[in-house]
Amino acid sequence: MNPREFEYHSPTSLKETVATLEKYKGEAKILAGGQSLIPLMKLRLVAPAHVVDIGRVRGLSYIRRESGFISIGAMTRMSEIESSELIAASLPILRDCASEIADPLVRNMGTIGGNVSHADPTNDMPAVMVATRSQFEAVGPKGRRSLSATTFFKDTFTTELLEEEVLSEIRIPTARYKDGAYVKLERQAGDFGIAGVAASLTLGKDGQCKECGIALTGVGPTVIRALRSEEKITGGRVGASSVESAAELAAEDSQPVADLRGTVEYKREMVGVLTKRALSLALKRTRARLR
Amino acid sequence: MTVRVSAIVNGNQVEEEVEPRTLLVSLIRDKLGLTGTHVGCDTTNCGACAVIMNGRAVKSCTVLAVQADGAELTTIEGIGTTDQLDPVQFAFWEKHGLQCGFCTPGMIVTACQLLKDNPEPTETEIRRALSGNLCRCTGYVKIIDSVKYASKLKKRGATSFRVEQRRLSEKPTWSGGPGDNP
């Protein structure tokens, strides 16, 4: 199976990337690691006339500690995130997620920028981005702009990015929403998840929850922010009863559709179970760190 | 329109003109004639097409040939030959880590990368590392045994094995086959 014919572009800078995207606006698709785009092109579900490979753009692959956040270059591979000591130590939620995406061979090619901007509802990174209140740096003809993960994901395969914009960096806060976890249920290794839940917390010294982010994978047209669950957890002590109600609300707020991975009822049930697990693990990690 | 792709494949510099839509696995099999790399599912599931690109195992059916421009690639042909089997290949033979053999090149390529990064993996680590490689014959038990054995062989300092030696020194380790029934 080959993709349909296309014209190939391999810019070496962001500026050149944006110029190419502008020139072929509406006909171009960005190629990062290609682990979602190439299968779609092979199945002829998409057939862009122009493919802009950002794999040759210099300086898009890094994981850096900055003041209050960790910045990750858009072309950073999932396997690099999975094996990063900095990520393991400061953002276990991201490690949970990166190490559960597809399989190791796919993670050796697949990039965080691609996973985020592809915006497949079953992609795992968007939920982590929303739950951690991450920011995305995009570069376009008018320069840079910063986009918030909570408003970035518009619909299936649709984000706030303009056609002539490219995602260059992801910024994940480390001071707030610090302790989190991502849990996912799969039918089999490497399959798209049945459902996934990302949860992150900021606990005050008094043990009260100051901030909470919860987001759901694979149970709606795009990632779902479980706003009512967040509100349930925020402002009080996180205990069995609040976790239970947050899980019930997340199950209610999910919008699954029945497919070969399960019925609507089953998926809702699983969202509840996974929400409990994600919150419990996030809490366990917070307590371990504060001890 | 074609694009020029130059890469180092199994230590040899190669240069080919390809269409941009050419997949890496097509370059390897059809242009370079290295047919040890297999096309299984052609949909990023099975891992039979695994090759090592710049030190990382990837699914060559889901990489454009042009993405490998300037890369260093190792295919199963670069892992070992019948005169010089890699310890991983020898271990798959010795421990019967294959039946039909179709998935084996991908299994071995992936196992080689695992053992390079992590010379003494636990069973869980082996299972995780091979989770992107499907085998429809063995049920994986023998494959896991093979990777464990390869790890042991490498730890003992083994670098390569000759098929002929193995054949000459081989003694039947089984009895009671159909022909032996009294």
Domain range list for chain B? 3-78, 87-169
**pLDDT digits over A103-136, tens only?**
999 999 999 999 999 999 999 999 999 999 999 9
B82 at interface of A, judged by CB pairs closer than 8 A: no
Q: Which residues of A have a CB under 8 Å from any CB of B?
A: 1-8, 10, 31, 34-35, 38-39, 41-43, 51, 53, 55, 77, 79, 102-106, 108-109, 189-190
Assess B39–A contact: CB distance below 8 Å, yes or no: no
Are A67 and A44 within one domain?
no
Query: For the structural domain made of B3-78, what CATH number should be given?
Result: 3.10.20.30
Cβ of residue B50 closer than 8 Å to a chain A Cβ: yes
Same domain for A163 and A220, yes or no, is no
Pair A216, A284 in one domain: yes
Whether A112 and A74 have beta carbons less than 8 Å apart is answered as yes
Asked if B131 and A189 come within 8 Å (Cβ–Cβ), the reply is yes
Name which of A34, A53, A77 is nearest B62 (Cβ-Cβ). A34
Q: What residues make up the domain containing A200?
A: 179-290
Q: Residues of A with CB below 8 A from B61's CB?
A: 42
Inter-chain touch A190–B110, beta carbons under 8 Å: no
Residue at A2 is within a domain: no
Q: Is ipTM over 0.85? A: yes
Query: Within chain A, where are the H helices?
Result: 14-23, 37-42, 78-82, 85-90, 92-98, 104-107, 112-118, 125-131, 149-152, 227-233, 240-253, 264-290
Segment B7-12 long-range contacts (CB within 8 Å, at least 24 positions apart): B7/B68, B7/B69, B7/B70, B7/B71, B7/B72, B7/B73, B8/B71, B8/B72, B8/B73, B9/B34, B9/B73, B9/B74, B9/B75, B9/B78, B10/B34, B10/B73, B10/B74, B10/B75, B10/B77, B10/B78, B11/B78
Q: Is A152 in the same domain as A238?
A: no
> Are B21 and A3 a contacting pair at CB < 8 A?
yes
Q: How far does the CA of residue B49 sit from the closest CA of chain A (Å)?
A: 10
Domain count, chain A: 3
**Residue B74 forms beta bridges with which residues?**
B52
Same domain, yes or no: A242 and A265: yes
Across A170-186, average pLDDT: 93
Asked if the Cβ–Cβ distance from B58 to A31 is below 8 Å, we say no
The pLDDT > 90 percentage for chain A reads 93
Same domain, A186 and A285: yes
Residue B83 binned pLDDT confidence (cut-offs 50, 70, 90)? confident
**pLDDT, chain A, mean:** 96
The CATH number, out of the four listed (3.10.450.50, 1.10.150.120, 1.10.1060.10, 3.10.129.10), of the domain defined by the range B87-169: 1.10.150.120
- Give the SS3 label for residue A259: strand
How confident is the model at residue A263, as a pLDDT? Answer: 97
On whether both A161 and A188 belong to a single domain, the answer is no
